[in-house]
Amino acid sequence: MNSNNIVLIGFMGSGKSTIARCLYQHTKKMVLDSDIIISNNENLDIKDIFLKYGEEYFRKLELEFCNFIKDNVKNSIISTGGGMPSVCNVKDIGKVFFLDLPFKEIENRLKDSKNRPLFSDTKKAKLLYEQRQEIYKSSCHFIINANKTPREITQEILQKI
């Protein structure tokens, strides 16, 4: 891995897209958000991809995105979907930062969101969160406490790149 990519992983609502934009302000590296790119390519919102084709199809799209990044992208900021580390080795695409946020904070951030298909049932979402914690930890180079301001999180990442 010598791509100079910064890869942000974490559960939905952990701040990956926000932190990617903040990092851009400091590094001017291109930001590639997997959910936005997949949504644009399919011409559907993520929730509609899940409804129309199912989660397995979406994970296949995430794997294709990951493989494309690995083979073609350098010196960029990659904001991944929450499940991407379970379908591909994100360490292959760059230096990986896990934005770790307690479930209660995620719940507060997402309680009014209509575009999170896997957060429609809070109990299921909490179980998914717990299942993914170990995947995130084993898939990253650095664990970042994301229960801080975007500025503080950005500064911590910048010190590690």
**122 in a labelled binding site:** no
Radius of gyration of the chain (CA): 15
**17 in a labelled binding site:** yes
**91 in a labelled binding site:** no
**14 in a labelled binding site:** yes
Q: What angle do CA 20, 93, 34 make, to 5 degrees?
A: 50
**151 in a labelled binding site:** no
Residues composing the chain: 161
Strand partners, 9: 98
**83 in a labelled binding site:** no
**27 in a labelled binding site:** no
* Side-chain-facing half-sphere of 153: CA atoms under 13 Å: 24
**59 in a labelled binding site:** yes
**82 in a labelled binding site:** yes
Q: Supply the angle between the helices 46-53 and 55-72 in degrees, to the nearest 10.
A: 130
**132 in a labelled binding site:** yes
**18 in a labelled binding site:** yes
Question: What residue numbers does the annotated binding site cover?
Answer: 13-18, 35, 59, 82, 116, 132
**Known binding-site positions for substrate:** 35, 59, 82, 132
Binding site per annotation, positions for ATP: 13-18, 116
Q: Which residues are annotated as a binding site for Mg(2+)?
A: 17
